Chain A
Amino acid sequence: MNWLKRFYFLLIGLFLSLPLIVVAGVSVNAKQTLAFPPQGFSLSWYGEIFTNPEWRSALIASVVLATTSAALAVLIALPLSWFLWRRIAPWANIFQILGIAPFTLPPVITALGLLTFWATTGFYGQPWTAVIGHAIFFVTLPLVTLSLGFSAIDRSFVEAAATMGANDRTIFRTVVLPLILPYLVSGYAFAFVLSLNEYIVAYMTVGFTLETLPIKIFNALRYGYTPTMASVTILFVFTAAVIFSLVAKFGDLPKLLGAMASDES
């Protein structure tokens, strides 16, 4: 029984990692060939991400987009989840549902909605429209982690602070914020990583004016292969793994995921 179990873990692990192993192999080819096992060894394709002006500007565009849109998503989610926790206002739950909807629907729908909207208002192609688009698309993640964080707060702490004469603002700063900070950070981290990888919303809103890394990879896939695509892929996997490991180190990953799925369904 035990070897069967191990074999199954190995099988799934292999299925999930095999494409990435091959891509990692391709990324260290010495010459510009798509060969596996790699011919020669060179890390120059990793350097290419930072030295080639096209790849570098795509990298910068992606990082700026992910940093700002995740921040905006948290700014939308924090007051909303605080309000829902602090007040009894059942109708306000509609905004929670609106926040979860874009993530539940097929992504092409949010993308097309934003495309028609920006085209109608005349802002189509402006780089900042992608920031708003991603913030709306990924607001679900901080919203879910924050609602979880708020529901975990022991209300007697807050009552104690209120009895001592603290007002809402002071309570928020001194009691609530420290307690929900891990959830705030993980919500930001989830939104950041997904924004970094997002293609369709970015493509439909700013695809012809701004080249993010996923858009750049797709264009490279169409118009000519370069091992830089492979090195960028590995860089992405590595970044995601590091960020999620940090979330796991400083937060309770199983708990975080347990709540996320039950909230989504």
Chain B
Amino acid sequence: MKREPPQSIADYGPLFFPAGMLLIFFVVPFGTMIAVSFFQRQEGGFYTPAFVFSNYERFLTAFFGGVLGFSLMLAVTVAICCVVLALPFTYLLSRLTRRLQVIWLVGLLSVLSLSEVIIGFAWSTLLSRTAGLSNLLVKIGLLEQPVALFPSFGAVLTGMVYQALPYTILVLYPAIVRLDPTLMEAARTLGSSPIRAFFNVLVPALRNTIMATLIMVFIFALGSYLLPQILGRPQHWTLSVLITDQAIYQSNMPFAAAMAVFLVLVTLGLVALTLLIGRKGEKA
């Protein structure tokens, strides 16, 4: 049976349900959200249809600029930390036996699927005064008495790196597995040390992959909404937290929607950039 173009309406049959579901429950809600972002907010949490830009004008305040700047800075830092940690790890992982690889992959997937709530809870326990790492440091004698290590910027960063690291490894994994193994062998035969070969051969060969991964992890980190709340102080709140806060607690749907639209634009711009890098990589 060859692939053929649909000949009758009946041939389109299988498409109706999936297309309908995606249009009604993804495209329409998305459109609703864009529409609401132009609506006028009423006192008491309601909003009325209108076409105003006031929700977008609020972006121009110093507060919003601060939150946006912090969100971007945090996501960039998380992306860089994750790629730096994951690149050598994924390379070493790809050289393990298949059985060991599968065991690591199962573990990574299990951590990756963990709810942000759970990651936040686990790290807040680990960094707490009563059950945390600082107790260990007291025992070794590095600390006088146990202290709480959160809320703090370090805690937010650690939690987010924890959340994004398995993702980073799984994004890098296919590219590194497919990498020609003779590349490294050639470098080793020519007398290069493993570490030198890693930096001088592997990293340049994966330049495009690394760039694309950085952007994907950046987008992933941008979506983090609970860790900054659980592990940080209000000044560590990101755009995602602010959107949730405005939508649920401040009942300002139009402003929340405007921020979400803005976040989509930032994300789409970056996805386009990733695709562009990917295409360039294919040509090269």
Contact = CB atoms under 8 A, between A and B. Distances in A.
A264 B217 CA distance: 12
A95 B113 contact: no
A60 interface: no
Q: In terms of DSSP, what is the predominant structure of the interface of chain B?
A: helix
A229 B92 CA distance: 35
Given A22-B126, A36-B131, A199-B117, A244 B174 contact: no
Contacts of A83: 12, 14-15, 18
Contact of A88 (B5, B85, B225): B5
Given A19-B162, A112-B243, A236 B125 contact: no
Nearest to B212: A265
Interface in B201-231: 212, 216, 219, 222-223, 225-226, 230
B110 A241 contact: yes
Given A117-B32, A236-B118, A257-B174, A1 B26 contact: no
A258 B174 contact: yes
A33 B130 contact: yes
Interface string A18-41: 111011011000000111100000
A147 interface: no
A185 B273 CA distance: 34
Interface string A236-263: 1100110011001000011001111110
A64 interface: no
Contacts of B116: 199-200
B167 to A, nearest CB: 10
Interface string A199-228: 110011001000000110110010000000
Per DSSP, chain A at the interface is helix
B157 interface: no
A161 B2 CA distance: 12
Contacts of B223: 105-108
A77 B25 CA distance: 14
B130 A34 contact: yes
A16 interface: yes
Contacts of A111: 244
Interface string A174-206: 000000000000000000011011111001100
B230 A221 contact: yes
B125 A259 contact: no
A101 interface: yes
Chain A: interface residue count, which band? 35 or more
A158 B1 contact: yes
A63 interface: no
A237 B118 CA distance: 10
A92 B3 CA distance: 14
Interface in B87-107: 88-89, 92, 98, 101-102, 105-107
Given A113-B33, A254-B105, A79 B14 contact: yes
Nearest to A104: B271
Nearest to B1: A162
B120 to A, nearest CB: 7
B173 interface: yes
Interface of A: 1, 5, 8-9, 12-13, 15-16, 18-20, 22-23, 25-26, 33-36, 75-77, 79-80, 82-83, 85-89, 92, 95, 98-99, 101-102, 104-117, 119-120, 132-133, 135-136, 139, 155, 158-159, 161-162, 171, 193-194, 196-200, 203-204, 207, 214-215, 217-218, 221, 229-230, 233, 236-237, 240-241, 244-245, 248, 253-254, 257-262, 264-265
Given A34-B131, A98-B22, 12 more contacts: A9-B92, A22-B126, A34-B125, A95-B18, A114-B25, A221-B117, A221-B120, A241-B110, A248-B106, A264-B171, A264-B216, A265-B278
Interface of B: 1-6, 11-12, 14-15, 17-19, 21-23, 25-30, 32-33, 36, 85, 88-89, 92, 98, 101-102, 105-111, 113-126, 128, 130-132, 135, 162, 165-166, 170-171, 173-175, 177-178, 194, 212, 216, 219, 222-223, 225-226, 230, 240, 243-244, 247-248, 253, 256-257, 260, 263-264, 267, 271, 274, 278
